[in-house]
């Protein structure tokens, strides 16, 4: 059992629904084990500047249902430099912080990995990102909420698509990953899904539009930001050029995908890994991300967690095609 | 009492939540008075082509909660020509339709007004548009749902704005009207609202950003599509140019504003005016739009309904300024 | 212009969505006019005990979207006694509070009326209750949100009713008032609505079930808590007794009706009357409730506001019958 | 490859969100493989009566987002008798149905198992129930939606609990299973969770209320229908008796838990197993339920699927205790 006395807790990178539930779990579990928690505001930026606040049970009352992060988040170029990390370390020492819990995505863990190798402060990471693009966990905190938000938005768009016999190109988040697009595309009954991991999506779409069911008058296409053709505007332009008789419209869902009250599953995931983070630090774990794989707590070294060559199940792409016919 | 035997019912223009509730009300009320209802699909386009379907009680079962319009809607340039209107008239005669109920906005009523002056078929209009830009009714069908959709979306965006200390420029619908922007801006706690009806909004915004509260780190600006500067992208560009230290982001809410299950108030409004439309035809009304003013059914000739110089209450703009300080 | 320097602000009675938006509006508007605001926690109870907190701009940041009331609310029998009111007055004097804004319903205003007649402290009331049962305002703060919550819940119940061919008796709030039942009944496409203001509802319902459309296999009945027969359980029992072949189910919506993020309209209403309350105090108003009638700020003496013989529009009851056929 | 030409498809037991998505997936996948689909209305009842409808691609258009089941569901005592099953078989033969896909829960599969052992018609089951109480799948169709509905409802109740300093006893579905209570209890930040699988819950709750944090003024307790003490009313009575100073309230969420638009995950699950059901029949599977375990399609004989001694993870009950302190 490692003697941890004061956990520094922060969120970093893009905010994700459920981060507050994770914060609550870390704080309450730490207190349960008689460990103090120091909130670090605005991620690495606040760490280098000593923007610290003590946290108690009440600090995390009534936040489990809130989107965003009460600890705020920010970019920090300074932390990428050895000097920045030195400043951070000095601040942590000054405030007697002897362990860290970092909630975020691959950028967060990249920083944590370097910091953990340079300084003797154990760091545990929690997967907080809507993108679901981390190894070492079936789902990341925020993903389930984000895909529900997308599906609710597309349900609204479908009302209009149906009423006007339109083809809608809907862009969802995912610069490097099609995981949001894939599940939401299935759930939205999309005609086609264009994602970064899969080439030739445009031809497939053209093929569908050319040879598909003629009595189908409205269609939804889900496009991940980072797909080959360059996003919804470009896809829309190409479709309109080739199929001018379609009444094509574009919708970029944008930032609404990051916010909102977290779903039940996101809160459960966040609560479980938040509690496990404290226990992991007590058990001597360090430089690992805590996730849930097959309903069990899983520990993954940062360098593996951030590799994220998440494979797209080709059966699911095929499924989209079959089901939208 | 005019002897109406068969009402032709259609939706036209942009779809709006609550149109189906209005369709249900017209159909059921007509049947109650022993009047047949002929559904005309895709608005004036279907009217010219004879795309007609008989409607009974069951045709409108379980639709009160659905967004969009089961009768579909479409543009129709043909109806703007005398020939097109003649075709429409011939189709109506052929199917023994002796009165019309048109659900839509100013474009719909402009067509109805011309048609009603050329042919002896009484037409009653129902205000179905999310824009709330018609005279003769306190609210249009769809407006209440649309502003709730906007506010829910901005609530999500605020989670991110707060977490990242960002300034968000959120664009809502309203090419000629700031009515969606105005109420949603108040409800979203916006810093500023830019609308077509009000000049000098940018300077006001700049002033706020320059002299406003320094401890306020996140801000929401609501921008109507048709505002002076040219929409959210242009506003964002101008803000970023002048205030590069703000972390400015853009969000275009787009088509999600048109869909979704209608709010309670929209369903009640649609149900009331839908029933009143049938009674108005029986009572000999024609070429009028039915709305609700001060909780009472109101009848407004088409030419007045579509004038829509809806005035923006300046107190409400002032209110936004005071409350966001 | 009356010189008000320090407004005591409290919520009282049942909580309602939009109370926080009203609190925000009072605080920010007061500060705009250089008036201090003292938050009084837990209504009259906190007033008698001196549970006061100073409020500034930041105290009301990011609360416009939250249900409930950050000032909390409570019952207070003590305030009904002259001694209790004397204690309250002494506490207000001690803290230099020279005016009050009370957000609540008829119980709140009854207390305010007595207090305002005994002591020289001007009181302004804001209509905060989901029941909509106050004179002097078209709508009370919270009503619009509550009816949307009911309608969303009944939409879910309808899925089951339709799938199982069931008759659902759904009980909504309203001990003395059928206003929630009336609008939600129309919006839910209810078969019948039973409300305290209308006698003979059960016979009407029996009549519908006996002679109504035979091909209609699922039905929703909306019942206000305070209706004649005694609520949903009793109505269900009577229906089941008389129509054993119906598969009848009961649902009591209960407390979910009080909570949730306020609707756009509730936030706008709360913001407007909140700001107007401060201006009214400055203009010398006292012992009045501020509402909105026909889109204009309206001032109603407390004794009139709480009379609440709100009449139910008989046309709307008739409408339910016609539209559900 | 088995030559299946006509699949009979039905839903049975309590309806669950996502059943329509599963229906759509079965129909479209069957058509993809040139197999006809015959919809059987109202489960086994319709099967014995020959209430059959042919289904094509369009029959399942625009239903993926709808709660309930378009094929309806019903109880059928007749099917429990050999005569009833004989009638069902005769109807299937008459309509050339040579395979069945049954969407439902343990009652459904119990019937399917018996039928499948008596007659030579292969049956494949899909797990459609909000209770998540089937072996052979990580989640059942409808569970994810139901727990989100519960959590949204409790979020609303928490607004009132916080505002009034109340203790709420909230009853959720689960006559034999605490799985809905468990996850929603964690996600709602509940004080305690009372479930059928765990004894001594009341003493634990009493202990919490007696020795728990004194500055915590509002509390949520989640109670499964089937827990030891007898449900929320009884739990509430016992709490009130022992802790009369708590302001205790009861809320029975009831039937809203069954309805609503399915969540993204429920639609994906339903789509995947729906497609897999058709492929399983083609591959010669019979008398098995198709689920997803660890993100892979899994096949479980009916007799194993319905055993449902789902174990409750004791760590999760402990987690509730730690996190609500």
Distance linking the first and last C-alpha atoms of chain B = 58
Find chains touching chain C: ≥3 CB pairs under 8 Å.
B, D
Share of chain C above pLDDT 90, in %: 88
Joined tokens for residue B251: 């969000």
* Beta strands at D296-301 and D288-293: parallel, antiparallel or unpaired: antiparallel
The pLDDT value given to residue B312: 87
Tell whether A41 is within 8 A of chain D (Cβ): no
- As a whole number, mean pLDDT of residues D13-35 equals 97
Name the DSSP class of B228.
Answer: T
Using CB atoms within 10 Å of the CB of residue A325, give its burial: 0 to 12 exposed, 13 to 18 middle, 19+ buried.
middle
Is D89 near chain C, with CB under 8 Å?
A: no
Burial class of residue A316, CB neighbours in 10 A (0-12, 13-18, 19+): middle
> Shortest CB distance from C322 goes to which of B28, B264, B295?
B28
Query: pLDDT tens digits, residue range A279-314?
Result: 999 999 999 999 999 999 999 999 999 976 778 888
Both tokens of C74, joined, read: 């409570």
| Residue B212 at interface with chain C, using a CB cutoff of 8 Å | no
Q: At what angle are helices C179-187 and C314-323 packed, to 10 degrees?
A: 30
Residue C299, judged by CB atoms within 10 A of its CB (0-12, 13-18, 19+), counts as middle
Residue D172, phi then psi, degrees to nearest 5 = -115, 170
- How do residues D251-263 score in pLDDT, each as one tens digit? 999 999 999 999 9
CA distance linking residue A104 with residue A115, whole number of Å: 15
Q: Report, as ranges of residue numbers, the positions in chain C whose pLDDT lies below 50.
A: none
DSSP state, A311?
Answer: P
Q: pLDDT, tens digit, for every residue of A11-51?
A: 999 999 999 999 999 999 999 999 999 999 999 999 999 99
Rounded distance between C-alpha atoms, residue A261 and residue B156, angstroms: 8
Q: What percent of chain D has pLDDT over 90?
A: 88
Q: Are B132 and B18 in contact (CB under 8 A)?
A: no
Q: Taking a C-beta distance cutoff of 8 angstroms, is the pair A115, A92 a contact?
A: no
pLDDT at C325: 80
| C-alpha neighbours within 13 Å on the C-beta side of residue C166 | 24
CB B169 within 8 Å of CB B221 = yes
B65 near C CB under 8 A: yes
Nearest to C319 by CA among B29, B141, B101, B1: B29
Q: Is the pLDDT of residue A276 over 90?
A: yes
CA–CA separation, D131 and A294 (whole Å): 20
Does position A213 have pLDDT exceeding 90, yes or no? no
Touching check for C319 and chain B: CB below 8 Å? yes
* Whole-number pLDDT of residue D305: 94
- Interface partners of chain A (CB pairs < 8 Å, 3 or more) are B, D
Shortest CA gap D323–chain C (Å):
23
Q: Domain-by-domain residue ranges, chain B?
A: 6-142+262-305, 145-258
CATH number listed for the domain at residues C144-258: 3.40.50.460
Chain D residue at shortest CA distance from C16: D160
As a whole number, mean pLDDT of residues B250-260 equals 97
The string of DSSP letters for C42-60 reads THHHHHHHT-EEEE-GGGG
Candidates C131, C133, C144, C266; catalytic one: C131
Q: Is A83 exposed, middle or buried (0-12, 13-18, 19+ CB in 10 A)?
A: exposed
Closest residue by Cα to residue D273 from D13, D60, D29, D2: D29
Average pLDDT over residues A177-199: 94
Contacts of B17 in chain A (CB under 8 A): 159
**Pick from B58, B262, B294: CB nearest C215:** B58
The two three-digit tokens of residue C172, written as one number: 């909504």
DSSP conformational letter for D262: P
Can you give the pLDDT at residue C213?
A: 77
Check: CB of residue B262 under 8 Å from CB of residue B147: no
Check if B208 contacts A (Cβ < 8 Å). Answer: no
**C41 in a known ligand binding site:** no
Phi, psi dihedrals of residue A70, rounded to the nearest 5°: -70, -20
> Token pair 């990011």 is at which residue?
C62
Are both D6-142+262-305 and D143-258 of the same fold?
yes
Share of chain B above pLDDT 70, in %: 99
A208 annotated as a binding-site residue: no
**Residue whose C-alpha is closest to residue A72's, from A132, A141, A12:** A12
Inter-chain CB pairs, A–B, below 8 Å: 108
Q: Quick one: tokens of B161?
A: 């704005």
Q: Name the minimum distance, in Å, from the CA of C189 to any CA of chain D.
A: 16
Mind listing the pLDDT tens digit for each residue in A110-161?
999 999 999 999 999 999 999 999 999 999 999 999 999 999 999 999 999 9
Interhelix angle C264-282/B143-164, nearest 10 degrees:
80
Task: Give the helix/strand (H/E) hosting A306.
Answer: none
B-to-C residue pairs, Cβ atoms closer than 8 angstroms:
126
Q: Which CATH superfamily is domain D143-258 in?
A: Phosphofructokinase domain (3.40.50.460)
Are D259 and C165 in contact (CB < 8 Å)?
Answer: no
What's the CATH number for D6-142+262-305? 3.40.50.450
Q: How many CB atoms lie under 10 A from the CB of residue B1?
A: 7
A34 inside 8 A of chain D by CB: no
Q: Which of D17, D73, D158 sits opposite C259 (nearest CB)?
A: D158
Whether the per-residue pLDDT at A169 is higher than 90: the answer is: yes
Instruction: Judge contact between C104 and C42, C-beta under 8 A.
Output: no
Q: Is C208 annotated as a binding residue?
A: no
Return d(Cα C74, Cα C94) in angstroms, integer.
22
Please tell me the predicted confidence (pLDDT) of residue D215. 78
Chain A hits for B162, CB-CB cut-off 8 Å, are 68, 72
Question: Among residues of chain A, what percentage have pLDDT more than 70?
Answer: 99
**Cross-chain Cβ contact B275/C322 below 8 Å:** yes
Closest CA to B258 of B62, B114, B6, B66: B66
Q: What is the pLDDT of residues B167-200, one digit of tens each?
A: 999 999 999 999 999 999 999 999 999 999 988 8
Indicate the residue of A25, A28, A323 with minimum beta-carbon distance to D25. A323
Q: Any residues with CB less than 8 A from the CB of A158 and at least 6 apart, and which?
A: A168, A188, A189, A218, A220, B68, B259, D62, D65
Nearest to D28 among A148, A155, A322 (CB): A322
Residue of C nearest to D259 (CA): C156
Give the whole-angstrom CA distance, residue A192 versus residue A173.
16
Domain A145-258 belongs in CATH node 3.20.20.70: no
SS (H, E, C) D212-259: CCCCCCCEEEEEECCCCCCCHHHHHHHHHHHCCCCCEEEEECHHHHHC
A129 is annotated as contributing to ligand binding = yes
DSSP H/E element including B150: helix B143-164
Put the strands of the sheet holding A248-252 in their side by side order: A192-194, A219-224, A167-172, A248-252
Contact D164 C15 (CB under 8 A): yes
Q: What is the dihedral of CA C109, C113, C115, C119, to 10 degrees?
A: 140
Cα–Cα–Cα angle for C289, C294, C298, nearest 5°? 20
Residue A214 pLDDT exceeds 80: no
Residue D221 C-alpha, separation from nearest chain A C-alpha, in angstroms: 15
User: pLDDT tier at B1 (50, 70, 90 boundaries)?
Assistant: low
Over range D205-218, report the average pLDDT.
Answer: 85
Q: How far apart are CA A72 and CA A93, in angstroms?
A: 22
CA distance A147 to A130: 8
Q: What is the pLDDT of residues D97-141, one digit of tens each?
A: 999 999 999 999 999 999 999 999 999 999 999 999 999 999 999
Q: How far is D34 from chain A (nearest CA, A)?
A: 12
- Cβ distance A149 to B162 less than 8 Å, yes or no, reads no
D18 CB contacts (<8 Å, ≥6 apart)? D128, D141, D142, D145, D262, D263, D266, D267, D269, D270
Instruction: Determine the Cα–Cα distance for residues B256 and D175; give it in Å rounded to an integer.
Output: 39
CA distance B54 to B8: 9
Q: Give the gap in angstroms from C-alpha B263 to the nearest C-alpha of chain C.
A: 6
Catalytic site residue B138? no
A130 marked among binding-site residues: yes
pLDDT attached to residue A1? 59
First to last CA, chain D: 58
- The token duo for D281 is 């029949």
Q: Using an 8 Å Cβ cutoff, are C305 and C110 in contact?
A: no
Closest partner residue to A163 (CB to CB) among B69, B251, B256 is: B69
């Amino acid at each position: 059992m490692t003697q941890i006395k004061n956990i520094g807790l922060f969120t970093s990178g893009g905010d994700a629904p459920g981060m507050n539930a994770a914060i609550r779990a870390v704080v309450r579990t730490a207190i349960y084990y008689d460990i103090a928690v120091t909130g670090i505001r605005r991620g690495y930026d606040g760490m280098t500047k000593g923007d610290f606040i003590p946290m108690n049970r009440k600090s995390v009352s009534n936040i489990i249902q809130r989107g965003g992060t009460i600890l705020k988040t920010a970019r920090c170029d300074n932390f990428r430099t050895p000097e920045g990390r030195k400043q951070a370390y000095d601040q942590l020492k000054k405030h007697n912080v002897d362990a860290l819990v970092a909630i975020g995505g691959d950028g967060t863990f990249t920083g944590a990995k370097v910091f953990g190798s340079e300084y003797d402060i154990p760091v545990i990471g929690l997967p907080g990102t809507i993108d679901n693009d981390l190894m070492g966990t079936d789902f990341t905190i925020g993903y389930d909420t984000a895909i529900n938000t997308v599906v609710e938005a597309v349900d609204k768009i479908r009302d209009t698509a149906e009423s006007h016999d339109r083809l809608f190109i809907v862009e969802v988040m995912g610069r490097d990953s099609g995981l949001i697009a894939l599940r939401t595309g299935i759930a939205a009954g999309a005609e086609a899904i264009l994602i970064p991991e899969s080439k030739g999506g445009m031809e497939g779409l053209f093929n569908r539009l050319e040879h598909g069911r003629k009595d189908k008058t409205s269609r939804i296409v889900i496009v991940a930001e980072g797909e080959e053709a360059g996003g919804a505007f470009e896809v829309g332009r190409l479709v309109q050029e080739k199929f001018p008789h379609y009444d094509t419209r574009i919708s970029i869902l944008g930032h609404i995908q990051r916010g909102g009250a977290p779903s039940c599953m996101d809160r459960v995931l966040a609560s479980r890994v938040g509690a496990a983070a404290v226990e992991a630090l007590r058990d001597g774990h360090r430089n690992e991300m805590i996730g849930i794989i097959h309903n069990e707590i899983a520990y993954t070294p940062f360098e593996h967690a951030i590799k994220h060559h998440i494979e797209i199940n080709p059966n699911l792409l095929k499924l989209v095609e079959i089901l939208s016919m």
